[in-house]
Copies of this chain bind each other. A is one copy, B any other.
Amino acid sequence: MQEIKIGIIGYGTVGTGVAKILSRKSSLLSEKLKTRLILKTICDLDVRRKRNFMPKGVLFTRNVDKVLDDEQIQIVVELIGGINPAKEYIIRALKNKKFVVTANKALLAEAGPELMRLARKCGVDIYFEASVGAAIPVIKAIRDGLISNNVENIFGIINGTSNYILSEMTQNRCDFKSALRQARIHGFAERNFKLDTSGIDSAHKLVILSRLCFGQGIKLSDVYVEGINEIKLHDIQYADEFGYCIKLLAIAKIAGKDLQIRVHPTLLPKKHLLSNVNGVFNAIFITADLAGEMILYGQGAGQMPAASAVVSDLADISKRLAKIEWVSSQTFAPSQNRYRRISPIHKIKSRYYIRFMAIDKPGALSLISKILGKSNISICSVLQKGRHQGQAVPIIMMTHEAREKELRQALMRIDKLPIIRKKTVALRVESV
């Protein structure tokens, strides 16, 4: 089987995640790609600190040349962040004809087009799915899925820290400072949180998305930026009274002949889907001329979501490098199933909503609940509608989790009771 050797520069949270996936999912990936992705070298300034994951057989070094000058390494994963020395390393990798995968939004916002041009000149390419929205495949969605579309606007909640703080303020009626404290306690805000709350991080990501949608000429300095530091709790409350919530939105939209590109706290109607994106989640709302409206929602940060995006880029590159015949159906889940069998419907467990139509007379409820109880179905709440002595009235129940098989048996028995006037309706409840 063909092998592709990979070097990682920067072994922090995301780097460790990538190493974990390449090790733990190696057979899944080889089966899908008919190529073995092999992590050959990890470069990090700190080689002494004990790591929670150190893959076997991988060179761990402080010397970046061991990655950049290794002729066997075809893909360099840059995960150190910041402009320097990341930029220099990427330039050297490209000049050495290595593909580059990066999550470095600051660098891409600053120097993306320059690096892309260099990549093209060197006959290689740069992939950066992890730079925006982590595991949400927003880069691929715009670049490949919407390839024939003209995007008309983007509205993104693309900074998890800010969104967490605003959600906290909204839900717990606390002020900015104590929401920030919560964010830091829960690991959703870094020590240097200012890049997040000032809107700069969102601006970096917005520039990357905007270049994909509107052209490579867009610069970071084109973005108007306001952060959330000044948002007061009572603004959130008043906005609420008007039917709005406040979100830090990254907006790029075509307005006539102009492109508006800005990041600022924004009121959104509460019923809008983006208003319901809470906590550290990200969502990108895109309107395109052919596809219409689209939302991509998911975890915009975190070790494994970001690493998952990096590995999806590695897979894309490996398909380009593969000299073997590659067929897309290979990349479905392998046929040696992860499950043993298809679960027949009677085996599922669910909560149920049940509506009985029963004659309104004393003891009706007790008859029904007795049968349910015998079948191990326990009732969570009951609602009885109307009162028409001697007539059929609806009795609605919400159950705790029960087995479908037992539920059906119970309902069959109940439907034979003389007090029941119509076939009972049962619907499954999903908490998702």
Contact = CB atoms under 8 A, between A and B. Distances in A.
Given A257-B341, A342-B258, A120 B327 contact: yes
A347 B256 CA distance: 12
Interface string A276-306: 1100010101001111111111110010110
Interface string A299-339: 10010110111011001100000000101111111111111
Contacts of A234: 355, 394
A333 B211 contact: yes
A242 B146 contact: no
A1 interface: no
Interface residues of A, number: 135
A381 interface: yes
Nearest to A219: B342
A332 B224 contact: no
B214 A338 contact: yes
B298 A294 contact: yes
A316 B326 CA distance: 13
Contact of A141 (B141, B238, B315, B342): B141
A417 interface: no
A253 to B, nearest CB: 9
B126 A428 contact: no
Nearest to A303: B290
Contacts of A266: 427-430
A89 interface: no
A312 B147 contact: yes
A154 B148 CA distance: 28
Contacts of A254: 338-339
B147 A32 contact: yes
A120 B329 contact: yes
Nearest to A26: B148
A335 B255 contact: no
Given A212-B333, A332-B143, A431 B338 contact: no
Contacts of A21: 148, 290
Contact of A305 (B244, B292, B327, B337): B292
Contacts of A269: 431-432
B329 A259 contact: no
Contact of A290 (B251, B293, B307): B307
A150 B274 CA distance: 27
B297 A292 contact: no
A143 B258 contact: no
Contacts of A264: 427-428
A232 interface: yes
Nearest to A254: B339
Contact of A329 (B116, B238, B258, B289): B116
A47 interface: no
Interface of A: 21, 25, 28-29, 32-33, 116, 119-120, 123, 125-127, 129, 134-137, 140-141, 143-151, 155, 211-218, 222, 224, 230, 232, 234-235, 238-239, 241-242, 244, 246, 249, 251, 254-255, 257-262, 264-269, 271-274, 276-277, 281, 283, 285, 288-299, 302, 304-305, 307-309, 311-312, 315-316, 325, 327-345, 347-349, 353, 355, 381, 383, 385, 394, 396, 398, 425, 427-432
13 contacts: A120-B330, A137-B137, A137-B144, A214-B337, A215-B335, A215-B338, A238-B355, A239-B353, A244-B353, A255-B349, A258-B347, A290-B307, A294-B297
